[in-house]
Structure 1
Amino acid sequence: MVYVLLVAGFILLIKGADWFVTGASEIARILKVSPVLVGLTIVAFGTGAPEATVSIIAAVEDSPGLTFGNVIGSNIINIAGVIGLTAVILPLKVESQTVRKEIPFTLLAGVAILALVADRWVDAEATNILTRGDGIVLLLFFTIFMYYVFELARNHRDKAITEGVDERTASGGGWGKNSLFTLSGLGAVVLGGYWVVESSTDIALQFGMSETLVGLTVVSVGSSLPEFVTAITAAIRKFSDLALGSIVGSCIFNILFVLGAASIINPLNIDSRIFVDVTFMIILTVSLLMFSRTGWKVGRLEGAVLVSSYIIYLIYIIYRN
């Protein structure tokens, strides 16, 4: 049965991503906002739903290794795997505001999570815990990010109205049709991602993998499939800004909202080995920022570097286990 669910989950992911991107891109036109804004919000939070679901349920069930490992592992594969593979298939155009603001905010989120537990890191005998207070701090950072996104959307809409642009005439349908496409696609993506995660986790545990390793690998890869399929679909449809925006937004959502909410529900005991993974995630974010500034795109060579780094990292954490 787990293998049937695995196959069915992949089918739902692929078809759901197609509907989701179609509906979301058309809603962007109707609202007179840029696709990157839709990527940072609707698409990012929608495709991030599997990570949020798995991590919060794991926190409730007192499985902190799975919660923290899933979030950090998902961000690593989002940057190195999803952006890397997408760029190898089709180079990704990067908006200047993404380089100047969104990617640095992703870096800030990574540094914040490292800083919140740094005082326990330096003391070998201390217990590494992400407390409820830390969770509140992360959610406050998330509130600031949402304020920035809404201001950006308002300014972009005001500019479109001033220029007299009526994007609704160019859209492929009205609110009803595109909302149905978006919601149906999101539902299929979330359900498909959940089936893939549940079935693949059962299979991995049968092979004797540890909870943290399952979170860093199987669960993070499975729950990142919505981002990957959505990004590939968006890039092929020439919405590369939506593709990159969705990944950046998903990374911010994972760290600030998912970890923040999970640690408020149940303080998270953190395996000291996870600091290596957090540091690697920050290095990847810095690399993405540097790559994005070269010609305002992430090219095939840079994508190959990101993918290669993830393969090396994967070999390392399997060996570490």
Structure 2
Amino acid sequence: MIESLTFILLGLILLYFGGEGLVRGSSALALRLGLTPLVVGLTVVAFGTSAPELVVSIQAAMDDQGAIAMGNVLGSNALNVGLILGLTALICPLKVQLQILRIDAPIMVGVSLMAGLMMHDLYISRMEGGLLVGGLVAYLVFTVIYAKKVKPLPAVEAEFAEALPSPKGSVGRDVLFVVGGLVLLVAGSRFMVDGAVSLARLYGISEAVIGLTIVAAGTSMPELVTCVVAALKKEPDIALGNIIGSNIFNILGILGGAALVKPLNAGGIQMTDIYVVIAFSVILVPIMKTGHKLARWEGVLLLTAYAGYMVWLWPKE
């Protein structure tokens, strides 16, 4: 048990610092290329914080641990909204000001429904993975084009500009952060998957449950840090943009990318797990479309719903 927990802890540490390095380096390179802080925040940062989920799921797919790969994505998406967004709303009630986020929320629901249809047989083929990755490319193109056209409020522009420090040092330094971050992510994913599988076998817990809980929580640490910091600074659009962007990327990029590497066979995942992810996505749509605040009491409801899901999840073994 101690060895398994040590592997998981070491994996978490490497994944966290690897994700930080990748986001810092890639964000600086994107700004040097002339992308606006808004575009960088909605794409590079949002997707960069999902890098741990990406490498862990790909590693799991290569090891024929499809339940961990799929559970990681589903668990991360549920945790992002239920736990992270709920906690963020407790710190600072969230009101969306950026129009593009009101478009992205329905997109998140759409890709969640599409993934749900693909996962009805708990199997994702390479062809389905290719469709998901193709959807990610289309989403990226749309986001960059629309974000350049949209006229955000000065306060929103200031949010994203403040959250992304100006590039310092040379391009080589930024590249080093990216490469170093990737190396740490790959190493961390190896430790995380090995530790999670070992722990599951030791206690007779299914790999699906381990993926939905421990692995998902560990790989979602970058999103948690980003959103809590944004809430403390009263920057709601960054927090919401990070969660929505990450959830979309988790489904299209991570689930699709892992299936492209190796088709995913996820025995142990239940349709209820998929329904929960879709439900958490749907919750955000009326908030985004109306521009209403995500109040503290709503944050409590999200946290309660997520806690209830965790309570339901574990005893089924």
TM-score range (shorter-chain normalised) is 0.7 to 0.9
Check conservation: 1:17, 1:233, Cα contact below 8 A.
no
Rounded Cα–Cα distance in structure 2 between residues aligned with 1:84 and 1:105: 21
Taking structure 1 as the reference length, the TM-score comes to 0.78
Residue 130 of structure 2: aligned partner: 136
| Mapped partners of 1:301, 1:40: distance in 2 | 27
The answer to whether residue 282 in structure 2 is matched with residue 286 in structure 1 is yes
User: Which residue of the partner structure matches residue 245 of structure 1?
Assistant: 241
1:152 aligns with 2:146: yes
Could you tell me which residue of structure 2 aligns to residue 54 of structure 1?
Answer: 56
Tell me if structure 2 keeps the 8 A contact 1:27–1:175: no
SS in 1 for 2:223: helix
Secondary structure class of the residue paired with 1:176: coil
Contact 2:29–2:174, Cα closer than 8 Å, also in 1: no
Report the equivalent of 1:105. Answer: 107
Farther off after superposition, 290-299 or 108-117: 290-299
User: Percent identity, aligned pairs only?
Assistant: 34
**Could you list the runs of 5+ residues in structure 1 that have no partner in the other structure?**
122-126
More displaced 10-residue stretch of structure 1: 294-303 or 150-159: 150-159
Alignment of 1:52-201 (within 5 A): 52-117=54-119, 121=120, 128-155=122-149, 173-176=166-169, 184=177, 187=181, 190=185, 194=189
Post-superposition offset of 1:153? 3.7
Superposition CA RMSD, Å: 3.9
Q: Distance in 1 between matches of 2:161 and 2:302?
A: 38
* TM-score, length of structure 2 as denominator length: 0.79
Whether the 8 Å CA contact 2:200–2:207 is kept in 1: the answer is: no
Mapped pair 1:33 → 2:36: yes
| 1:257-309 deviation line (CA, Å, top 9, x unaligned) | 11111112211123375221111111111112223445533221111111110
Question: Do 2:75 and 2:211's aligned partners in 1 also have CA atoms closer than 8 Å?
Answer: yes
* Shift, 1:240, TM fit: 2.4
Structure 2: state its 5+ residue gaps.
none
Task: Find the counterpart in structure 2 of residue 215 from structure 1.
Answer: 211
Q: For 1:124-153, what per-residue CA distance to the aligned partner results, in whole angstroms no more than 9, with x for missing partners?
A: xxx542111111111121111011112024
SS in 1 for 2:222: helix
Q: Is the CA contact 2:136–2:249 (under 8 Å) kept in the aligned structure 1?
A: yes
Alpha carbons of structure 1 residues 53 and 27: separation in structure 2 relative to 1, 3 Å: closer
CA contact (8 A) 2:25 2:177 kept: no
SS at structure 1 position matched to 2:220: helix
Counterpart residue identity of residue 110, structure 1 = S
What is the aligned partner in structure 2 of residue 257 from structure 1?
A: 253
